[in-house]
Amino acid sequence: MPVPEPTPLERFLNGILPENPVYRQLLGLCPTLAVTAAMKPAMTMVGATAFVLICANLITSLIRHLLKPHLRILVFTLTIATFVTIADRTLAAFAYPMSKLLGPYVPLIIVNCMIISRCEVCSSKQSPKTALADAVGVSLGFLLALASVATVREILGNGSWFGIQLVPESFPTLILMILPPGAFLALGSLLGLATWLGHRRKARASEPHAGSA
């Protein structure tokens, strides 16, 4: 018996936590490590990635019946590259300092496996409604991941959050956290925490209920 395809609500919810692109699938790690020294660039990256993901998912879903299996990756890449270019030019026009700060990481969204995997897994097989729900859910999951890493790094490394000073200037900060090694330390620790919480939840769920025997 064929397994039924997930509903739009299931796709939306799965993208946020159960199939979180960073903490569960380990996808999109390049921007997660590279632009999370502070919240502002991290959230700009999330916005650009969400725009590309939503547009790519919708387009591939609309043309899913025309896709040939051996040419589908080419279509996905063409679609993603187009919307990444639009996002890059829009940032350069309306948020020039942020565009300079993010540098090559916006064009590098093209090779973000998180986006191509959603085209492959969901939008090339399901309706535009489901594809949209999936893209929004995964974008929220990506936001959660980048926001958590950036929060840890900016607070520990700069004593601020979104540029707002949270601790007194005299308070010692860990400069290492806003440098590249800090990205690995923060992501590694948070990944460990997420995995531990996942295992604990699974273990609790599988425990026999007291008194049920």
Partner 1 sequence: MSRLRDSYLGQGWLILLLAGAFGALLAAVHLKLSPRIEDNIQAEITREIPGLLLGAEVLEGASIKIEGDLVTVEPAVGEPRVLTIVEQPSEASALYRVAERDPGHLLGWVARGQDHGYADVIELLVGLTADTGRITGIYVLNQKETPALGDGIVRSDFRRHFVGIPTDRPLVVGADAAQSRYPIQALTGATVSSRSVCKIVNDTVALVKVEIAEEPEGSNARP
Kindly list the residues in this chain that would bind partner 1 in the complex (CB under 8 A). Answer: 34, 63, 66-68, 71, 74-75, 78-79, 82, 85-86, 89-90, 92-94, 96, 103-105, 107, 180
Tokens of 46: 């999330």
Shorter beta-carbon distance to partner 1: residue 6 or 28: 28
For partner 1, the closer of residues 89 and 202 by Cβ is 89
**Residue 135 CB, nearest distance to partner 1 (Å)?**
18
Q: What angle do CA 23, 25, 153 make, to 5 degrees?
A: 30
* Smallest separation, CB 120 to partner 1 (Å): 17
| CA angle, residues 18, 54, 197, in degrees to nearest 5 | 15
Beta bridge partners of 164: 161
Measured from the CB atom, is 105 or 161 closer to partner 1? 105
CB of 121 to partner 1, least distance (A): 20
- Cβ of residue 100: shortest distance to partner 1, in angstroms? 8
Tokens 């399901």: give the residue: 126
Handedness of CA 68, 72, 74, 75 (dihedral sign): positive
CB of 30 to partner 1, least distance (A): 9
* Nearest CB to partner 1, comparing residues 89 and 201: 89
Cβ 109 to partner 1 shortest distance, Å: 13
Residue 181 or 211 having the CB closest to partner 1: 181
Residue 123: CB partners within 8 Å, gap ≥ 6? Answer: 56, 57, 58, 60, 61, 64, 131, 134, 135
- Which C-beta is closer to partner 1: that of 47 or that of 198? 47
